[in-house]
Chains A and B, each alone.
Chain A
Amino acid sequence: MSANSLMTPPTVSLPDTAPPPPFGRELIRATDLTAFYGTFAAVKNVTIGFEANRVHALIGPSGCGKSTFLRTLNRMHEVVGGHVTGRVLLGRDDIYGPRVSLTNLRRRVGMVFQKPTPFPTMSIYQNVAAGLKVGARQSRPEIDAIVERALQQAGLWNEVKDRLRQSAVALSGGQQQRLCIARTIAPEPAVILLDEPTASLDPQGTQRIEELLFNLKKDFTIIIVTHNMQQAARVSDTTTFFYLGTMVETGATKQIFTAPTQERTEAYITGRFG
């Protein structure tokens, strides 16, 4: 992906809407967050807040720590043996607090991965309902309603409503990824983390997901890691630039892409490195 095309205005469509009001309700905030793999700090002293009902993009070259940072927000970083120092507040709760249940946290902060990860032994319906089985038992009609709503929100309902019992792996890559989004939003999280969700999709599948984000931010707070700067420019309200594990700059997307204050940000978005 050539970043130079950013400099030719017609190919880039920045959101037409005005930048979001600056004093929205902040939902999730990392304070002085450092994330380690063993003794290596992949993310260093990041302090940043994310407002509710916005799309927040995290950009930066490979290995800059943006994905690691994302994974600290629902403690998936720990799954691969990492640990953190610093704090992450979700509302008023410290997600690294002593009595936090990882199950409850991850149901509040859902995650969609780079490659679509439907459960191959489950049907489409079972996949969407997979996250519901944990916790309170719902009745069948309730689950039906939740599955339909999640698939509607993920823009997949019309394509799969007649074959909910079929295997999820029969879907195309783009559909599988929207299925994973449906599965993530079914338990009604507050925040959705997307880790390069379109990296393995074709342009059409990518476009469907990008359109989806506009609708989803009405109900959810979205944080998306992308290595595609046009995508960040198209879908996000705020953009944060990571480089070598540190957060270089964060701000309204329009400002980051038109008037970055840091030299390294400008160099990156104009394609001079990375």
Chain B
Amino acid sequence: MTAGEPAITEEPGAAVLQGRAVGDTVFKAALTIAVLAVPALLGFLVWELWVGSRLAIERYGFDFITGTTWDPVAEEFGALPLIVGTLTSAAVALVIAVPLSLGVAIYLTEFSPKWLRQPVAFVIELLAAIPSVVYGLWGIFVLIPVLKDHVFPFLRDTLGFLPLFQGPIYGNSMLAAGIILAIMVMPYIMSVSREVLMAVPASQREAALGLGATRWEAAWTAVVPYARSGIVGAVILGLGRALGETMAVTMLIGNRHEIAASLFAPGYTMAAVIANEFTEAASDIHYAALSYVALSLFVVTVIVNGLARILIWRVSRGQAGGGQGV
């Protein structure tokens, strides 16, 4: 272009400004389809479960949820022990895993020497890569013998006044399943909480330290509260995993349709019963009952996650804690 000449040489009215970004249109359409596919898939899944369990729904209705007998031969199906087992094993897992993983995350972000941070985090995250059947085998050959011979008797001797730690010790039990689940969900809770804690601005730490807080006080009064909604999110991620985990639990929980007060007693979970019985189900109603269990598991998961979302929302909204006393 030579100086002094107008930049646009086309005649007036030539469509120099018109045009379509075809790439954008295609890209947008592709993404829209991908986005819509997710809820569509979910809807299809629910519908499929619904159709599969129709027979059982019509026959048992809500009694299925409250019933406690599971007898495929007599065609009597009640899923309450499974629901209780799923919730109990997940709760045990969280009780063990949350303090542990949170402790590790706080240690790694606030206290550990710099050279230690990456290796420890890496090793813990590696735990997430182990297949769950391997956890199951390790549980059977290593964990259960140790629990049965040492840990459970110790618990019964020290905490035996609680119904949770009474009764005969078999090895395979709700507690064993809860412990293996705790180990399995720890990497998730730990690595997400660690990310969240690392994202807390340094100024918050410095403000606390500048007030004369010790490192521990700074972590506990400034850093952790700042990150708390993210930490709750990390716990929910772990919870979701604990509720749905199948293989390792099936191998360790003992697979007994029963609601026991003691964590030493065997139990059963929804996921485990589906894994165990689906391939050998003999009758249509048995299939339908298993589908109904799957549907119930889906509903339980949705409810638990919904409650957890509300918790996050309340935690991040009620920042000042309203009437909470100082």
Contacts and interface: CB of A to CB of B under 8 A. Distances in A.
Interface of A: 74, 76, 79, 102-107, 110-111, 113, 115, 117, 119-126, 129-131, 133-135, 143, 165-169, 180, 183-184, 187
B319 A113 contact: no
Contacts of A143: 326
Given A76-B206, A79-B206, A115-B203, A120 B211 contact: no
Nearest to A143: B326
A102 B208 CA distance: 12
A113 to B, nearest CB: 6
Which of B206, B208, B326 has the most chain A CB atoms inside 10 A of its CB?
B326
B212 A119 contact: no
Contact of A113 (B206, B214, B222): B206
A168 B222 CA distance: 13
Contacts of B214: 102-103, 134
Given A130-B221, A131-B211, A134-B213, A117 B320 contact: no
Interface string B182-209: 0000000000000000000001111111
Nearest to B211: A131
B228 interface: yes
A105 to B, nearest CB: 8
A134 B217 contact: yes
B168 interface: no
Contacts of B319: 120-121, 167, 169
Nearest to A163: B320
Given A79-B206, A115-B203, A121 B225 contact: yes
B210 interface: yes
A41 B206 CA distance: 22
A65 to B, nearest CB: 18
A113 B208 CA distance: 11
A71 to B, nearest CB: 9
B210 A111 contact: yes
Given A119-B221, A121-B228, A134 B321 contact: no
Contacts, number: 90
A131 B203 CA distance: 16
B226 A121 contact: yes
15 contacts: A74-B210, A106-B210, A111-B210, A117-B203, A119-B208, A119-B226, A120-B319, A121-B228, A123-B320, A123-B326, A130-B221, A131-B211, A134-B213, A167-B320, A180-B207
B211 A125 contact: no
B322 interface: yes
Contacts of A122: 225, 320-321
Contacts of A104: 212
A110 B206 CA distance: 11
Interface string B210-249: 1111100100011001101000000000000000000000
Given A103-B214, A167-B319, 4 more contacts: A113-B206, A119-B222, A130-B211, A134-B212
A94 B282 CA distance: 84
Interface residues of B, number: 25
Interface of B: 203-214, 217, 221-222, 225-226, 228, 319-324, 326
Shortest beta-carbon contacts, A-B, top 10: A167-B320, A131-B211, A117-B207, A121-B225, A111-B210, A106-B212, A107-B212, A123-B320, A103-B212, A126-B326
Nearest to A168: B320
A113 B204 CA distance: 10
A230 B211 CA distance: 29
Contact of B211 (A110, A123, A169): A110
Contact of A119 (B206, B225, B323): B225
B321 A117 contact: no
Contacts of A135: 212
Contacts of B206: 76, 79, 113, 117
Contacts of B221: 119, 130, 133
A212 to B, nearest CB: 18
B202 to A, nearest CB: 8
A199 to B, nearest CB: 13
Given A106-B209, A165-B320, A183-B211, A117 B204 contact: yes
Contact of B203 (A113, A125, A126, A133): A113
Contacts of A110: 210-211
A103 B213 contact: yes
Which of B207, B212, B321 has the most chain A CB atoms inside 10 A of its CB?
B212
A113 B326 contact: no
Given A117-B206, A117-B207, A120-B319, A125 B212 contact: no
Contacts of A169: 319
Given A119-B222, A187-B212, A113 B228 contact: no
Contacts of B208: 119, 130
